[in-house]
Amino acid sequence: MALADSTRGLPNGGGGGGSGSSSSSAEPPLFPDIVELNVGGQVYVTRRCTVVSVPDSLLWRMFTQQQPQELARDSKGRFFLDRDGFLFRYILDYLRDLQLVLPDYFPERSRLQREAEYFELPELVRRLGAPQQPGPGPPPHARRGVQKEGSLGDELLSLGYTDPEQQEGASAGAPSPTLELASRSPSGGAAGPLLTPSQSLDGSRRSGYITIGYRGSYTIGRDAQADAKFRRVARITVCGKTSLAKEVFGDTLNESRDPDRPPERYTSRYYLKFNFLEQAFDKLSESGFHMVACSSTGTCAFASSTDQSEDKIWTSYTEYVFCRE
């Protein structure tokens, strides 16, 4: 059947010879010039010519070989892709000009390569798998340190962070230093000891603060006679210096909301992969931190329960501040 006049967009060119009903199946998909994508909850708005810039890729097939009604959409009509929404920005940047540009400190290289394989971008996969070529200036281990004037002093120019991916192949018994102090003697002597990101130059652990926050809710009967029913802790957030957070929580730290944060910068977007406050407190205590402050705010609302009575629903946000001197 011929496409209805209300169908969004128009075919790019008419069907030569024959009736419209016989040629409609061969016409290009009717996609708008500006497309909205929902990738794992992250919304991107771009031109259709950008997403189809690499022939035979997954996106090229979706937006040239399929009809709009055949693709998954979210509740607002945006085309939906169940992939990592934060890494997709690098995929989209590559599709714009076919150039790979990544931050200086980028620990998600292997995950981005997996995303490139999913979207069937062989050239991007090849570039991500190729060894990184150091540019002019200081060696890679020094360039990865914080080099802004006045941030932490000239001592950080000799600090460098090893790529987490390079440590994956290391043996279990071998040490895996994440920070190397290239201290030089007056005669240009040997390097100093290996330090963790939170160690200072004298070998001691660097002091700092970490703030743990969580939002929870619980219900209590209107007459306040029944016991309070705690519902859940939705998410435990972590605020502080990136290197300190990684030292304390390790693999239990979810960095997906701020994947490119350098070790000596601060963040408020990390959260933990577990929901037990006691587990977070234990990890902080084992790393030499102690609690120095706590604050909490809350709101209350009434809600009808199944027995026609009204319960109070309390929602609170609590923060605990930990310090290591």
For each of the domains in the chain, give its residue range(s) and CATH number, in order of start: 34-129 (3.30.710.10), 208-324 (no CATH)
172 and 187 Cβ atoms separated by less than 8 Å? no
Q: Please say if the pLDDT value at position 197 is more than 50.
A: no
CA distance readout (Å), 65 to 54, 146, 316: 14, 47, 50
Among 305, 234, 301, 315, which Cα is nearest to 271's?
234
Least confident range of 29-38, 133-142, 229-238, 271-280: 133-142
Q: Please say if the pLDDT value at position 98 is more than 80.
A: yes
Q: Please count the CA atoms within 13 angstroms of the CA of 201 that sit on its side-chain side.
A: 12
Q: Which residue has the higher pLDDT, 288 or 9?
A: 288
Cα–Cα distance, 289 to 281 (Å, whole number): 9
Q: Please say if the pLDDT value at position 168 is more than 60.
A: no
Confidence at 134, pLDDT banded by 50, 70, 90: low
Cβ-proximal residues to 231 (8 Å cutoff; 6+ apart), any chain: 216, 217, 218, 219
Confidence at 232, pLDDT banded by 50, 70, 90: low
Mean pLDDT of 51-67: 92
Q: Please say if the pLDDT value at position 141 is more than 50.
A: no
Neighbours of 36 (CB within 10 A): 15
Mean pLDDT of 284-300: 89
Q: Which residue has the higher pLDDT, 170 or 35?
A: 35
Q: Residues of the chain with pLDDT > 70: what percent?
A: 61
Q: Please say if the pLDDT value at position 194 is more than 50.
A: no
Mean pLDDT of 4-32: 47
Give me the pLDDT at residue 204, please: 58
Q: Please say if the pLDDT value at position 84 is more than 80.
A: yes
Mean pLDDT of 40-65: 93
Mean pLDDT of 96-111: 88
Give me the pLDDT at residue 195, please: 47
Confidence at 179, pLDDT banded by 50, 70, 90: very low
Mean pLDDT of 297-322: 74
Q: Please say if the pLDDT value at position 14 is more than 50.
A: no
Mean pLDDT of the chain, nearest integer: 73
